Structure 1
Amino acid sequence: MTEPIHDEDLLEVQAADIPAEDGPHPDDRIDDERHDEENRLKPEYLRAVRDALEEGEKGEVYDLVEPLHPADIADLLELLDREDRALLAAAITDLMSSEVIAELNDHVREDMMEALAPEAVATIVEQLETDDAVQLIEDLDEDDQQAVLAEMEAEDRIAIESALAYPEETAGRLMNRDFVAVPEHMTVGGLIDYLREEGDLTHDFFEVFVVDHMHHPVGTCALSWILTAPRNVALTDVMKRDQTLIPVTMDQEEVALMFQKYGLISAAVTDDDGRLVGQMTVDDVVHIISEEAGEDVLLLSGAGDGDINEPIREAYVSRVRWLIANLGTALVASLIIAMFGAAIEKLVALAVLMPIVASIGGNAGTQTMAVSVRAIATNQLTRANTWRIVWREMRVALLNGATVAVLIGIATSLIFNPMLGGVIATAMIINIAVAGLAGVLVPVIFERLDQDPAVASSVFVTMITDSMGFFAFLGLAVASGLVSAA
């Protein structure tokens, strides 16, 4: 049973030790000598930094980089080669703030952290918000993690170790432990006085969480309500009781969908006992949405992380396995062609037209699959409407198939003969219809098996459309008497 906590304990607020550093405003960076009209670092500026690094002019390097916003310094590091990054970091040591580290690409940040001593990494980590600090630590090897954690203050170390105990890509791993929580007996005036007098508040918060004596969230108060309500009004009279709570084990993709669905700015994160342990804010969700969207596209293509900063070996391993899988599925289509080898020898036109049937079917399957994977990811395709979506996509496929079949049938009839035109038109309708069905059912089946539908759907959909395209076209050619199988 959870031990009750006292009201004074409820007023305790976790906060970052170091405030965010002031930097150039993003609007001040446009149309200067370092940025082009699209606010990207100019090639000439990049060359100037590289030349200064090669010549060992650290003072010149510092002068070139010092005016940049932390996000632009991160961009500059990502644009440089690995060797130049180390030289640049050494030349601008005091500019390598926690804001710069937080903005770095994962692979680049990992390289930078490996080059630093554990105590230096610990200093950077302690300056970061908890969620950013966890993201930095989790990318390190186990030995490096322990070395960095050993150099940290006990409070910060415990917070990060607690976050790392949760599975990756869950709310517990990503949540921010810096929040404001107050007891429910407070008045608006008492809360305002507390916020003004407390010197250890988190710097960025949008709402105050109201909790009971067990630290269970019972409501929220937006800052606008607090500032406009009379001082003598009780928080329980102005707070919003109906709130969206996020379990610590919820997947980050589901968190993003909740923020999108309910238009949230922030939301409380609760542990298994329902106690408030952190919060998710919309800035975290923006990163999640961007990451998940890019991840699904890359998984569909089998391109791994798809990051230009990813080490060559990792990129090779992640991509080649899907190419080998494609090789295996392509053999299935080849075996079908081999079954009709004699027919193809007697009518060369079959060999000429086969790729068209397979190609159009593959494209149709990819279109449907992309729509289905996105619908599953956004909870638009669920168990409740699966068959309605299947029927919808089948109707679209039949309309597409009929349109393409008429065009290819007429062209084939004029170039070869009407019989062959009818065969390829019929095969096209069959293949596109099968492509539409496979494009929905394959992702759905993977999702029902608790597998990411984006991971391997493309391999199986391609195999189905290629195999069915060849089988339908060649089989119809033989069945119609256009050519014999032997």
Structure 2
Amino acid sequence: MDKDVTNIKKTQNQFDPSLISEIMNSVDTNNRISVIKIIEELPPADIADIIQLLRSSERKSFLDIIKDHFDPEILSDLEEGAREEVINLLGHNFVAEILPKLETDDAVHVIEDLKEDDKNIILNKIPKRDREELQLSLNYPDDSAGRLMSLDFVATPPDWDVGRTIDFLRDEKDLPNEFYEIYIVGPTFKPIAALSLSNILRSERTNKLENLKSDHLVAIPAEMDKELVAHQFERFDLVSAPVIDEGGRLIGVITADDIVDVIQEEAGEDIKFLGGVVGDENITDSALRTSRGRFTWLLINLFTAIIASTVIALFDGTIEEMVALAILMPIVASMGGNAGTQTLTIAV
């Protein structure tokens, strides 16, 4: 009971930025005990934040200290640039060893943006069964539901009763860590209905699953764009949804936590678009990479500014006669820019 309460407190506590200084000091003095004691109290997302805030030299030392206590979920919480560096520091063998411990969708997220050579090296070191599962998701387009889905789900035939289903869930060892629905499938493994766990637990043990009332089944094609998937979740207030292949067979499941990531990613892309930032730029990116992503728009803005200055120069005589025009020019430019930004915000 005390352990559960401690875990709840850890979840509720927000990340303390002062820990960065404490960790940096401990890393500099090679105080392994202090570093490990700190990370044991933190969730993977906070440890990922710490890694991203450390300098490259400090990252290596930090990872060397925590390697034996490294939680695989840290990799899925890192931003792309930092993740690639961390994978190189940890080594392909180590990453291949911990990757199967993640849910399929998280494991795919970790390696999908790696260079092909690095990706293939890691995949070849993973056990065959896990490699085939990852390869199945990687075969789908980057922004598709197939990349988002997890291959870990629970499916039962329609003739099972509630009692048998509950006993199966209690006794079966190879089940997803978390799941919210059970999918009823026919002989061809096509989903027939989705039953929530609360629905099953409130029903009599003798009731057949096919006779239980279920919500409207919303099946997601594996090729569907992830933005459309997010729209389906919003439209039907879904917690999870089955993913089907071209033949309509059940192959995976997408949960709400995956959709939250999609919504945040798409919102970030829209904000970057408003600012003229192209590509997947992150705050941890190098100056060279940042410059490449912004150069095109900055160059276009420079040319348009030169054109505007040339037009103004044509009326320099008029401006000399009416000095008030020079005072109004920055006001007109500022109001025009603000109005344009507001219009783009509404449009996007």
Do these two structures clear the TM 0.5 threshold for a shared fold by scoring above it?
A: yes
**How far did 1:25 drift?**
2.2
Amino acid paired to 1:51: N
Q: Which amino acid aligns with 2:10?
A: D
**1:28 paired residue among 10, 30, 39:** 10
What secondary structure, in the 3-state scheme, does the structure 2 residue paired with 1:92 have?
A: helix
**1:365 equivalenced with 2:347 (yes/no):** no
Match of 1:324 in 2: 299
Tell whether the 8 Å contact from 1:177 to 1:278 is kept in structure 2 after alignment.
Answer: yes
Q: Confirm or deny: 8 A CA contact 1:24 1:67 kept in the other structure.
A: no
Aligned to 2:82: 108
Partner of 1:285 in structure 2?
A: 259
Mapped partners of 2:281, 2:126: distance in 1: 33
CA gap of 1:344–1:163, structure 2 versus 1, over 3 A, is same
Q: CA deviation at 1:347?
A: 2.5
Cα distance in 2, alignment partners of residues 163 and 307 from structure 1: 25
1:218–1:241 CA contact under 8 A, matched in 2: no
Deviation of residue 23 (structure 1)? 11
C-alpha distance 118-23 of structure 1, shift in aligned 2 (>3 A): farther
Matching residue of 2:167: 193
Offset at residue 176 of structure 1 (A)? 0.8
Taking structure 1 as reference, are residues 364 and 120 closer, same or farther at Cα in structure 2, changes over 3 Å only? same
Distance between the aligned counterparts of 1:356 and 1:250, measured in 2?
Answer: 47
Give runs of aligned pairs for residues 51-450 of structure 1, distance below 5 A: 51-240=25-214, 242-304=216-278, 305-373=280-348
Provide, for residues 165-190 of structure 1, a one-character-per-residue CA deviation record: whole Å limited to 9, x for no partner.
Answer: 11112111111110011122222223
Give SS of 1:25's match.
helix
Shift in Å at residue 343 of structure 1?
3.1
- Taking the aligned partners of 1:199 and 1:23, their CA distance within structure 2 comes to 26
Q: Which has the larger radius of gyration?
A: 1
Identity of matched residues, %? 40
Query: CA, structure 1 residues 194+62, in 2 after alignment: closer, same or farther (shift >3 Å)?
Result: closer
| Kept in 1: contact 2:241–2:253 (CA 8 A) | yes
1:261 deviates by 1.9
Distance of 1:316 and 1:197 partners within structure 2:
56
Contact 1:180–1:201 (8 Å) recurs in 2 = yes
Q: TM-score under structure 2 normalisation?
A: 0.91
Instruction: State the Cα distance separating 1:342 from its structure 2 match.
Output: 4.1
Partner of residue 469, structure 1: none
Matched residue SS, 2:20: helix
Amino acid across the alignment from 2:308: A
Letter of the 1:234 counterpart: K
**Structure 2 CA distance, aligned partners of 1:153 and 1:142?**
19
Is this contact kept in 1: 2:10–2:42, CA < 8 A?
no
Shift of 1:306: 4.6
Instruction: Tell me: CA distance 1:24–1:167, structure 2 relative to 1, closer, same or farther (3 Å).
Output: farther
Aligned to 1:379: none
Cα contact 2:155–2:183 (8 A) shared by 1: yes
> CA, structure 1 residues 250+329, in 2 after alignment: closer, same or farther (shift >3 Å)?
farther
Find the residue that maps to 2:207 and give its secondary structure: coil
Runs of 5+ in structure 1 lacking a partner?
1-21, 32-38, 374-486
- CA RMSD, Structure 1 to Structure 2 (Å): 2.2
Contact between 1:344 and 1:351, CA under 8 Å: does it hold in 2? Answer: yes
Amino acid at match of 1:300: L
Whether the aligned pair in 2 keeps the contact of 1:178 and 1:202 (CA below 8 Å) is: yes
Secondary structure of the equivalent of 1:215? coil
Q: How many residues align?
A: 344
SS of equivalent to 1:68? coil
Q: Bigger relative contact order, structure 1 or 2, given CA contacts below 8 A and separation 6+?
A: 1
Q: 1:279 to 1:23 in 2, by over 3 A?
A: farther
State the Cα distance separating 1:213 from its structure 2 match: 1.4
Whole-angstrom CA distance in 2 between matches of 1:123 and 1:83 = 24
Equivalent-residue separation in structure 1 for 2:94 and 2:5 (angstroms): 22
- State the alpha-carbon separation in 1 of the partners of residues 301 and 187 from structure 2: 58
| CA gap 1:66/1:240 in 2 versus in 1, 3 angstroms | closer
- Aligned-pair distance for 1:191? 1.9
Residue in 2 aligned with 1:47? Answer: 21
Return 5+ residue gaps in structure 2 as ranges. none
